[in-house]
Amino acid sequence: MDYKNKAINCVKDTILPMQKKQFEECGSLDEQYKRYGNTEWLFAKTIEKGHIYEIGYPSCVCQEVISGKVNDVSHCECSRQSILYVIGNLLPNKNINVEILETILGGADKCRFRVTVE
């Protein structure tokens, strides 16, 4: 499965423009996550300013999972790729790494990802 292209197609016209607008308004991920990082769909917090973040979802946001079409934990790679794509667009000159910490499909009560910016 090509999760990278699937992820890009999922977020390029929806999440990316919204995140870009917030980022431009705030000037940094730290400020963006402080201002917008606690909604019913997304949580995002700074672990180490300018360097390490935790991003996640209180419930699964994937329509394929919600509809019951997909229930394999490997599908969470799609979320990892979408976070990588969005932050890579916000910080094009940085090296971004996204690690899956836990996911709902994997048995956790929420999805959590660690983002490292170099």
| Each residue's pLDDT tens digit, 38-52 | 998 899 999 999 999
**pTM as predicted:** 0.95
Q: What is the mean predicted confidence (pLDDT) over 72-81?
A: 95
Q: Has residue 59 got a pLDDT over 90?
A: yes
Judged by DSSP in three states, 102 sits in: strand
Residue 95: CB atoms within 10 Å: 9
Confidence at 65, pLDDT banded by 50, 70, 90? very high
Q: Has residue 79 got a pLDDT over 90?
A: yes
Q: Which of 105, 13, 90 is nearest to 44 (CA)?
A: 90
* 86-109 per-position pLDDT tens digit: 999 999 999 999 999 999 999 999
Q: Which of 53, 51, 14 is nearest to 37 (CA)?
A: 53
CA distance 16 to 100: 20
> Are residues 46 and 53 in contact, defined by beta-carbon separation less than 8 angstroms?
yes
> Are residues 110 and 100 in contact, defined by beta-carbon separation less than 8 angstroms?
no
> Are residues 87 and 29 in contact, defined by beta-carbon separation less than 8 angstroms?
yes
* pLDDT value of residue 1: 80
